[in-house]
């Protein structure tokens, strides 16, 4: 499964440059308040969920301007009444609130890619269940922005009270621009982007009220409370005490005295814990604060078993209620702590709470300072009072550099995953041979059945992308039982899937044909394969960012004027998230993180022919040192070691386009696949693997 | 010839990000004045040369601090007395000046790569004649910074009163850091970099005095005054009126009313003129100001023939004295002109003169404005009064996109150049065969002799790099008659040379062996060749910056842990500078200029084994549209067309490392070389070409 395509919408992103490695945008619902200028209001935190971020429209104007995009659009139908939206609007006019508009994005408070149902507020209010989208409700409008992956789904799921904003299409404003158009001028802006600033909107923080939760009420699912488990040291490789010790050394080196970890996978990795709070990612909702001499985990204690309690106690980690994170932040600031906050992942409520508490500290010290000057200026070099260290979380890189135990778990789980896949494909080819009609969802279900039988299986690592023919060209296609296609044996079939095992995370794409592929399909497949091989075999000097290698994967497609509109590689966690940073391999040149020994990246070039077929070939790779005969510049040269061992369908290869070296790569790969995976198989699946790992040769 | 290596020194660069495409640093001598704080002084322009840029040390401290690097260094010898430096220091203490230090960089006022002798002030004062280096003279120290290319040469040329600063070596401070160390603290900074700012230095502008010129006096060469010639329309392709008209359209679109062109090649290109003021580049010292309804060329009129006068008159271009550029800038500002200035190429004297004149305009208008408010605010959208448009010169890109006539001239001149090279190599191999001892300089001279006989030959396009054995590993090696090596027939020989013809500019590197190359030499040569072929054959979508392709040229070297420390490609002018922007192909990722149809780039990967040999294979390429069978995304796909047609020595190719496709590339290239160049040859040179273009085959 690959990362977001280039046309994925990221409106209103707090920090687009950093968000690129962090996936989507906001972590909050954003109510827009109509308040007076220069009068920011901090509300008290609600007990009902994470704190919310708000944009407040300042000034006295009313909503009168007719935006130009509105004129370009034919209204397809009369608006249906929508009870939820109406209930939300009722709240707008409640005395003392005076809201103009309310923004509801997809995210939870931890920037998670997969989130618990109780935080799916945008899906609840709009009915649209896609993974990316932002809803905005004003007094008389309701609009939902999503990207090209979800236009069809959103058209089906939104009723006519909602306006679908097809992000990226000509004439469709970004959410931020739309706010400019529908909201009145006359205020000022804090923290939001230039676009919004043109009409003078102000951003304030609201902690006491989530309007969606207010109308959701009883029907809102309870927050998840599945028990947390200890991630065995034989898989984690490094114990918690050592990890905390390394982190503390980094804190000291950066001049900070504490750090807030809010990314759920970072908390899980650092504490060698795993959870089951969200689908596909083995994480639990929690914040972690690590100080130089203490560590506190903010988590619902109903999830904490006695084993976990003992595990944490050994590592000197105390428990605190999930909801008490902000008061702890205030306490730290009051103590003068220099807090390390990664603003690309930590939510704005935490950042602003800390900043406000620092201001308060300085005001108190300041008045004393005036009386006693020496005390005020503590030293020449240290800042006066608490001040934040705003840098990337050091856990992000530490987690990305897999240790030998993590790598071993990844290798082992990939072989078991390959065994399940062999059983699946063997079964599938037999069914197709028997002319059994199977839908895309049937296949995803059957694959899950095979994977479930493997040792240590926990979950899929994302929703299986199972696409026959034209559906394969929809890059993030997720088949639905009621609407998906029957797999057509005469078309290309693309299957992108992965699993969570107790020792590792997998992510693999294969594209196959059950009958006779066309010359066009073979040419495109072979060029995708050439790109896959070129990246797999790349050797590069240390300090090379991933984007430098991206062109290797596209070159063979470029030669005939083809390309693909997504990145080539994303990071993958070890028994953690299937998408992680900080590295990537992409045609977007912004990510300067060098590829480093122990990092895992996917290698997944593709080609998508609209309304016809999709092709993608994806393996996971681990960056390793290459023992080159020279070391020019006295540095290391790096390359990749494969984690994924599964046949690539040779029927789809046009041998005339493959060089001898590329053919040898394929034969050598298949020989390794047989060697590594066949011991885990027997019977027909083993025969299938044998048949599908035979060497090919040019005539 | 390739662009600067990565270790080239660029201290004190005004705008390093922009300078990267513009080659070296300053265009001025920089006197450092010891003056009082917050009291910038603008001196009147000298009649003796271009205006100078100055750093002024503000504050009252004296030079006492002992910099740490000083302690690390053993003083090799007692300082010799140096008359020039002493004379310069005499001027420091002249009443009314009070200078602490004086900086003398390499450049002229036009950012030229090759400069006239009268502007070689750094060479005059220090004795060091290398192309890159910055001299700084303080009251008791004199130091010269240069990069690794010139350490040996500088050691020989500097006397002991000079300290050689080996830029890039451990413990050697940058010039800017050194200034911090030797100058006293206590002032403030304008316009210079953060490093300098730490010790509070101020930058002011000095127009009335160049101290080096003061001591140079009578011995200073006269400014060049060779006649300017008209560049024939059959080579230029577009007449001056059309070029000016396009430029004026760009001015209007950018909201500016005039532009100052100071890059000598831009002036020459825009006016279809060529000069002979500097070696290797067919340009003349001049500034050009293009207004919406006028154009003025600032040039010494003794260079202007009646033909040139008529040519300019036809295009509506008036003549002005070279020295009157600043007064014209002031006049334009006084008229309220919005001047377009490319601050990466226009010198600071022009920029500051304009800014000062704008301030003056506003002061005058401001007082009137207060009386008559409406007049002051001319309109809502236009800025009040003159204001600069600071963007890249539009001429830079226009010049880079060659028109069909320019391309034809480049193609033709490359074939004549190849004919001269065939005669040269044929002659050389015969001499070597006869055991004649020839030095590297003998070879450069003989090559010049053959080139001189070609139609339209004017000059070399840079100093020939002729390096035998270990000298080939010195990337910018220029052999000197008294010190260079005899060419060793048993070692690799690298020859990087080029010529200026009336219709085009060439730049080619070939590496050969006259005897039996070692397996190591063959492996390295073959991998450089593989990189050369990979880049030559690249196809890429429009809007691709050059750096995306750089890795193609290195990949084969990386596989065995080798690399080279210079970019892979630079732009080349059509009968103009051998180095031009804005495009490049480099491992430095800053240059986002997309490669575009009609751009010329060099393709010159290499490998350099210290103290052993150097390898480089360089052709010039023109970016062209590729007629791909698909056009995914509805865009153009681009690739390269070769301009250089000359044999690559097949003796050096290790066929086992070459793919079939690469071998076919080489055979096809040689077949084209024979077809295109043989008609220009006869006798033994033709036989040599025949022998050296025969196809190779794998056993």
CB contact under 8 A, B555 and A538: yes
Distance from C-alpha of B174 to C-alpha of B193, rounded to nearest angstrom: 12
Summarised one tens digit per residue, pLDDT across range B216-267 is 988 899 999 899 999 999 999 999 999 999 999 999 999 999 999 999 999 9
Kindly list the distances between the CA atom of residue A166 and the CA atoms of A217, A478, B166, in Å, as whole numbers in the listed order: 30, 19, 58
CATH of the domain at B426: 3.90.230.10
Pair (B587, B472) in one structural domain = yes
**DSSP labels, A440-481:** HHHHHHHHHHHHHTSTTEEEESS--EEEEGGGGGSTT----T
Q: B182 and B293 share a domain?
A: no
Q: Which mean pLDDT values do the consecutive 10-residue runs of chain A (699 residues) have?
A: 36 23 27 28 27 31 28 42 88 73 80 90 91 82 83 88 81 60 34 44 58 87 94 98 98 96 97 97 97 97 97 98 94 94 84 89 67 40 73 96 98 98 98 96 97 98 94 85 91 97 98 98 98 98 97 98 95 97 91 96 96 97 98 96 98 96 97 98 98 93
* DSSP β-ladder status, A30-35 and A52-58: parallel
The mean per-residue pLDDT over the stretch B584-594 comes to 92
Which residues in chain A have their CB less than 8 angstroms from residue B662's CB?
none
Nearest alpha carbon to residue A476 among A130, A108, A19, A133:
A130
Lowest mean pLDDT among A195-199, B343-347, B425-429, B590-594: A195-199
Task: Kindly state whether residue A321 falls inside one of the protein's structural domains.
Answer: yes
Contacts A–B by Cβ distance under 8 A = 84
Q: Which of A451, A427, A423, A422 has the alpha carbon at shortest distance from A438?
A: A427
Residue A287 contacts B, CB cutoff 8 Å: no
Backbone angles phi, psi at A172, to 5 degrees: -90, 120
B69: helix, coil or strand?
helix
Q: What is the nearest CA distance from B488 to chain A, expressed in angstroms?
A: 26
Please tell me the distance from the alpha carbon of residue A299 to that of residue B611, in angstroms, as a whole number: 64
The answer to whether the beta carbons of residues B32 and B63 sit under 8 Å apart is no
Tell me, what's the pLDDT at B108? 86
Helix (H, G, I), strand (E, B) or coil at B642: strand
Contact A183, A33 (CB under 8 A): no
**Are A548 and B552 within 8 A, CB to CB?**
no
Interface test with B, best of A562, A608, A639 (most B CBs within 10 A): A562
How close A1 comes to chain B (CA, Å)? 22
Q: What is the DSSP pairing of strand B30-35 with strand B52-58? A: parallel
Which residues partner with A47 through β-bridges?
none
How many Cα neighbours within 13 Å face the side chain of A95?
A: 0
Q: Quote the longest CA-to-CA distance of chain A.
A: 92
On chain A, the residues whose CB falls within 8 A of the CB of B656 are none
- Strands laid side by side in the B637-642 sheet: B540-541, B637-642, B619-625, B600-603, B569-571, B580-585
Mutate to test the interface with A, among B475, B550, B560, B659 (most CBs of A within 10 A): B560
- Asked if residue A672 belongs to a domain, the reply is yes
What distance in Å separates the CA atoms of residue B182 and residue B188, rounded to the nearest whole number? 16
> Residue A381 falls within a domain, yes or no?
no
Residues in chain A closer than 8 A to B592 (CB atoms)? 589
**CATH number for the domain that contains residue A182:** 3.40.350.10
Q: Does B561 touch chain A (CB under 8 A)?
A: yes
3-state helix, strand, coil in chain A (%, to 5): 35, 20, 45
Please list, in sequence order, all residues whose beta carbon lies within 8 angstroms of the beta carbon of residue B371, skipping any fewer than 6 positions away. Answer: none
Give yes or no for a cis peptide into A653 (omega within 30° of 0): no
DSSP per residue over A67-112, as a string? Answer: -HHHHH----SPPPP-HHHHHHHHHHTSTTT-EEEEEE-S--TT--
Please give the span between the terminal C-alpha atoms of chain A, in angstroms, as a whole number: 35
| B114–A contact, CB cutoff 8 A | no
In a domain, A620, yes or no: yes
- Does a structural domain hold residue A48? no
Burial B613-636 (b: 16+ CB within 10 A, else e): bbbbbbbbbbbeebebeeebeeeb
User: Does B540 lie at the interface with A, CB-CB under 8 angstroms?
Assistant: yes
Q: In B, which residues are within 8 Å of A560 by CB distance?
A: 628-630
Q: What share of chain B is helix, strand, coil (3-state, %, to 5)?
A: 35, 20, 45
Count of domains for chain B: 3
Residue B662: closest CA among chain A residues belongs to which residue?
A659
* pLDDT score at B369: 44
Same domain, A211 and A358: no
* B163 domain-assigned: yes
Least confident of B14-18, B419-423, B569-573: B14-18
pLDDT for B454 equals 98
* A482 or B461, higher pLDDT: B461
pLDDT of B292-350, one tens digit each?
Answer: 999 999 999 999 999 999 999 999 999 999 999 999 999 999 999 999 999 888 887 78
Q: Which helix (H) or strand (E) holds B639?
A: strand B637-642
Cross-chain residue pair B541–A558, CB shorter than 8 Å: yes
Whether B577 and B672 map to the same domain: the answer is yes
Residues 619-648 of B with CB under 8 A from A: 626, 628-633, 637
Whether A660 sits inside 8 A of B659 (CB atoms) is yes
Give the chain A residue nearest B632 (alpha carbons): A562
Task: Give the whole-angstrom CA distance, residue B696 versus residue B683.
Answer: 24
Residues A527 and A408 in one domain: yes
Contact B559 A628 (CB under 8 A): yes
Q: Indicate the residue of A565, A632, A660 with minimum beta-carbon distance to B561.
A: A632
Cβ contact (<8 Å) for A539 and B552? no
Query: A377, A398, A419: which is the final residue of a domain?
Result: A398
C-alpha A274/C-alpha A269 separation (Å) is: 8
Task: Give the Cα separation of B67 and A49 in Å (integer).
Answer: 58
Q: Which residues of B touch A549 (CB under 8 A)?
A: 551
- Considering the domain architecture, whether residues B487 and B571 belong to the same structural domain is answered as yes
Q: Are the CB atoms for A524 and A609 separated by under 8 Å?
A: yes
Sequence-distant (6+) residues with CB within 8 A of B345 are: B22, B110, B111, B262, B263, B266, B393, B396
Domain that holds residue B495: 401-685
The alpha-helical segments, DSSP class H, found in A198-239 are 211-216, 233-236
Segment (H or E) for B541: strand B540-541
Q: Is there a contact between A552 and B549 if contact means CB atoms under 8 Å apart?
A: no
Asked if B263 and B344 sit in the same domain, the reply is yes
Looking at the complex, does the CB of residue B562 fall below 8 Å from at least one CB of chain A? yes
Which of A375, A398, A421 delimits the end of a domain? A398
Helix (H, G, I), strand (E, B) or coil at A306: helix
> Which residues are A601's β-sheet partners?
A571, A621
**Pairing label, strands B317-320, A619-625:** unpaired
Tell me, what's the pLDDT at A523?
Answer: 98
B588 at interface of A, judged by CB pairs closer than 8 A: no
If asked whether residues B250 and B318 sit together in one domain, one would say yes
Contact, A283 vs A364, CB < 8 A?
Answer: no
State how far the Cα of A564 lies from the Cα of A555, in Å rounded to an integer: 11
A661 near B CB under 8 A? yes
- The pLDDT value given to residue A281: 97
Residues A506 and A637 in one domain: yes
Are B279 and B207 within one domain?
A: no
A672 CB-near residues (< 8 Å, 6+ apart): A642, A645
Residue B354 has pLDDT above 60, yes or no: yes
Contact B637 A539 (CB under 8 A): no
Q: Is residue A35 in some structural domain?
A: no
What are the φ/ψ torsions at residue B138 (nearest 5 degrees)? -110, -175
C-alpha span between A338 and A323 (Å, rounded): 22
Q: Does B485 touch chain A (CB under 8 A)?
A: no
Dihedral angle sign, alpha carbons of residues B672, B675, B681, B686: positive
- Whether B551 sits inside 8 A of A548 (CB atoms) is yes
| Residue A76: how many other CB atoms lie within 10 Å | 8
Q: State the pLDDT confidence band at B140, using cuts at 50, 70 and 90.
A: confident
Residues in a beta bridge with A619: A603
Together in a domain, B477 and B567: yes
Note whether A630 contacts B558, CB cutoff 8 Å: no
Q: How many angstroms separate the CA of residue A621 from the nearest CA in chain B?
A: 17
From first CA to last CA, the distance across chain B in angstroms is 35
Name the closest residue on chain B to residue A586, using Cα atoms.
Answer: B548
A507-516, B469-478, B627-636, B661-670: least confident range? B469-478
Contact check, Cβ <8 Å, B628/A561: yes
- What is the predicted pLDDT for the residue at A206? 58
Of B537, B628, B661, the CB nearest to A659: B661
- In the listed set B158, B185, B219, which residue is the last one of a domain according to the structure? B219
Chain A residues closer than 8 Å to B545 by CB: 589
Q: Is B214 in the same domain as B304? A: no
- Asked if A345 contacts A262 with a C-beta cutoff of 8 angstroms, the reply is yes
The whole-chain average pLDDT of chain B stands at: 83
* B357-412 per-position pLDDT tens digit: 999 998 887 655 443 444 333 444 445 678 899 999 999 999 999 999 999 999 99
Q: Nearest-5° angle of CA B183, CA B189, CA B190?
A: 135
Q: Is B482 on the interface with A (CB under 8 A)?
A: no
Residue B245 lies in a domain: yes
Is there a contact between A243 and A398 (Cβ–Cβ < 8 Å)?
yes
- Determine the Cα–Cα distance for residues B223 and B116; give it in Å rounded to an integer: 7
**Distance in angstroms (rounded) separating the CA atoms of residues A208 and A52:** 8
Closest residue on chain A to B541 (Cα): A558
Task: Please state, in angstroms and rounded to a whole number, the distance separating the CA atoms of residues A126 and A143.
Answer: 9
């Amino acid at each position: 499964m690959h990362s977001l395509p280039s046309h994925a919408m990221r409106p209103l992103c707090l920090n687009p440059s950093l968000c690129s490695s962090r996936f989507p945008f906001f972590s909050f619902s954003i109510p827009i308040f109509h308040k007076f200028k220069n009068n920011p209001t901090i509300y008290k935190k609600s007990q009902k969920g994470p704190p919310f971020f708000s944009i407040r429209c300042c000034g006295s104007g009313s909503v009168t301007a007719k935006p130009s995009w509105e004129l370009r659009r034919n209204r397809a139908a009369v608006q249906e009444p929508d009870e939820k939206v109406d209930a939300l609007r009722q709240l707008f006019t409640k005395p003392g609130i005076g809201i103009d508009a309310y923004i509801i994005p997809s995210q939870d408070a931890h920037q998670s890619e997969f989130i618990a149902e109780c935080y799916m507020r945008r899906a609840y209010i709009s009915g649209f269940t896609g993974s990316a989208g932002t809803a905005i409700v004003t007094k008389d409008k309701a609009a939902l922005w999503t990207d090209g992956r979800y236009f069809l789904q959103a058209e089906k799921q939104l009723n006519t009270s909602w306006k679908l904003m097809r992000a990226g299409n000509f004439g469709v404003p970004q959410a931020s621009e739309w706010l400019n158009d529908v909201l009145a001028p006359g205020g000022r802006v804090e923290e939001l982007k230039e676009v919004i600033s043109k009409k003078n909107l102000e951003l304030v923080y609201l902690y006491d009220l989530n309007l969606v939760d207010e109308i959701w009420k009883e029907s809102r699912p309870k927050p998840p409370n599945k028990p947390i488990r200890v991630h065995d040291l034989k898989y984690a490789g490094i114990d918690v005490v050592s990890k905390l010790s390394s982190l503390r050394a980094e804190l000291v080196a950066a001049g900070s005295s504490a750090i807030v970890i809010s990314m759920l996978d970072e908390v899980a990795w650092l504490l060698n814990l795993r959870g089951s709070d969200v689908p596909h990612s083995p994480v639990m909702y929690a914040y972690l604060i690590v100080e130089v001499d203490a560590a506190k985990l903010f988590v619902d204690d109903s999830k904490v078993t006695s084993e976990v309690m003992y595990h944490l106690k050994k590592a000197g980690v105390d428990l605190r209620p999930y909801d008490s994170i902000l008061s702890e932040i205030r306490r730290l600031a009051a103590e003068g702590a220099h807090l390390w906050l990664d603003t690309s992942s930590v939510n704005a409520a935490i950042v602003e709470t800390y900043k406000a508490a620092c201001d308060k500290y300085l005001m108190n010290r300041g008045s004393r300072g005036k009386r006693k000057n020496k005390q005020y200026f503590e030293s020449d070099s240290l800042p006066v009072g608490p001040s934040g260290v705003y840098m990337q979380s050091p856990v992000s890189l530490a987690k990305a550099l897999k240790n030998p135990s993590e790598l071993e778990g990844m290798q082992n789980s990939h072989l078991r995953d390959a065994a399940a896949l062999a059983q699946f494909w063997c079964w599938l080819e037999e069914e197709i041979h028997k002319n059994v009609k199977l839908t895309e969802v049937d296949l995803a279900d059957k694959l899950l059945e095979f994977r479930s039988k493997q040792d240590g299986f926990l979950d899929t690592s994302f929703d299986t992308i199972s696409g026959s023919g034209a559906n394969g060209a929809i890059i993030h296609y997720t088949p639905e039982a009621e609407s998906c296609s029957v797999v057509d044996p005469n078309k290309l079939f693309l299957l992108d899937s992965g699993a969570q095992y107790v020792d590792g995370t997998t992510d693999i794409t294969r594209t196959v044909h059950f009958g006779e592929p066309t010359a066009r399909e073979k040419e495109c497949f072979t060029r995708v394969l050439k790109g896959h091989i070129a990246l797999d075999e790349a050797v590069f000097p240390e300090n090379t960012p991933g984007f430098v290698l991206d062109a290797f994967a596209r070159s063979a497609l470029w030669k005939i004027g083809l390309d693909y509109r997504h990145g080539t590689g994303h990071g993958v966690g070890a028994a953690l998230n299937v998408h992680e940073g900080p590295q990537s391999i992409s045609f977007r040149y912004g990510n300067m993180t060098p590829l480093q020994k122990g990092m895992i990246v996917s290698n997944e070039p593709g080609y998508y022919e609209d309304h016809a077929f999709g092709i993608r070939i994806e393996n996971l790779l681990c960056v390793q040192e290459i023992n080159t005969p020279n070391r020019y510049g006295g540095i290391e040269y790096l390359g990749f070691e494969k984690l994924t061992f599964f046949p690539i369908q040779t029927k789809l290869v046009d041998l005339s386009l493959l060089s001898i070296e590329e053919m040898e790569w394929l034969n050598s790969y298949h020989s390794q696949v047989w060697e590594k995976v066949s011991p885990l198989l027997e019977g027909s699946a083993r025969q299938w693997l044998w048949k599908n790992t035979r060497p090919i040769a040019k005539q």
